[in-house]
Structure 1
Amino acid sequence: MENLRQSIMESVINQFNQKGMKFTMDDISKELHISKKTIYKEFDDKDELFFATVDYGFTAIKQKEAEVLKDDSLDIVEKLTRLIVCLPDNYRNIDFRMAYQLKDKYPLVYSKLASRIESDWEETEKLLKQAMDEGKLKKMPIPVVKLTIEGAIEKFLGSEELSKTNVSYEEALNGMIDIIINGLRV
């Protein structure tokens, strides 16, 4: 059954990528060749499905972050940079620029997304402190750096401005971290 839940969440991601928030449960059932009733056996409603999909996505991000942390070929600033803009390989094709649609249509789901962005900063904060202590980055209050990064990511996700450009979400993240890290370099 866990594979079915995962397949359904992957389909949500596929449908979101293709149609934004305009996809339906019928679209998911057609893609997976299952009935809507089967979907509703796994998830009570669309909100529960979206909440689970957000958690599923952040679990994948945390797995990718663990890979970055274990990669001894990266110096501390490279690790920090990759950790902050970490997207799992299977999420690189998602158009996160359309996440702003969640804000009005599914505010609780958007709120969960924002709260997940704001959580689990322990490893990033450790690397920031270490890079500052080693003189690789300017000493700045870590909460200021964290809030700057969170604010930029939330603005990317919560505004339709990025969707009006030819800049992908991943390119925007990389540009943002480049500006921040280069601004902090000694």
Structure 2
Amino acid sequence: MFSMYRDMMDTCGQEGVMDGETQQQLRLRIYEATIEEFREKGFKFTMDDMARRLGVSKKTIYQVVRDKETLFFDTATYIYEQIKRSEQAVMDDDSLTTVEKIKAILIAMPDSYSELDWRQIYQLEKSYPRIFARVRVMMEQQWDNTIELLRRGIDEGVIRDIPIPVIKTMFEATLEKYMETTVLIDAGLTFDEAVQYTLDVLMDGISCKKQKLL
């Protein structure tokens, strides 16, 4: 009974909220709308843009998130949770070899996020330093599964016995560079393209393999 009363209170007075929609459901819609606005406009979208996309008033949005910085912070956490789910799906896929899992988990991301322009993350450092710091912490925290796979690969003899902190630092520092500077924009590369190149270099090196003579 208390749960039903709480859900009724969550939607009470929220103009434009869908019939029967709880505050948690609205919150998830807000996160997804934030992702879509970022996809189209980067960080320049306004709360008016959000209200139009959601079909609610700004007042309703502010009942869920305090301000735009909170919106970005909470959405970043939401994206991180979705990425972790994608990683777990890779870990649970018994059809993949250890090497295939390592390659997949290093770039694990829901398909709906693959077109986001992650190159713009560097803009957060000046405008929203708290969120930028949060993104860096989340990047640091998402290595548990990867480290487990690297150790397994070394034990199986399919990965060279290179100190894991070296591998981790190489990949992590490269991604941070992509996000903290305009290097990819200047080079005309998308974030996905750059990450794939980085993964190829990490796994296969940069030397051309010699072709066998016929």
TM-score range, shorter chain: over 0.9
Equivalent residue for 2:152? 130
Residues of 2 paired with 1:164 and 1:26: CA distance? Answer: 31
Paired AA for residue 71 in structure 2: L
Once the two structures are superposed, residues 117-162 of structure 1 have per-residue CA deviations (whole angstroms, 9 ceiling, x without a partner) of 0113221111101111211111111111111111111111111121
Equivalent residue for 1:26? 48
CA RMSD of aligned residues (A): 1.2
Once the two structures are superposed, residues 60-113 of structure 1 have per-residue CA deviations (whole angstroms, 9 ceiling, x without a partner) of 001111111111111101100110111111101211111111121111111101
Paired AA for residue 168 in structure 2: K
Q: Secondary structure at the match of 1:99?
A: helix
Question: Aligned runs of 1:1-186 on 2, under 5 Å?
Answer: 1-183=23-205
Q: Which moved more, 1:51-60 or 1:96-105?
A: 96-105
Q: Secondary structure at the match of 1:139?
A: coil
Which runs of 5 or more structure 1 residues have no equivalent in the other structure?
none
Percent of aligned pairs with the same amino acid:
38
Pairs aligned (count): 183
Residues of 2 paired with 1:100 and 1:149: CA distance? Answer: 17
Which runs of 5 or more structure 2 residues have no equivalent in the other structure?
1-22, 206-214
Residues of 2 paired with 1:127 and 1:43: CA distance? Answer: 38
Q: Which moved more, 1:11-20 or 1:58-67?
A: 11-20
Greater helix content: 1
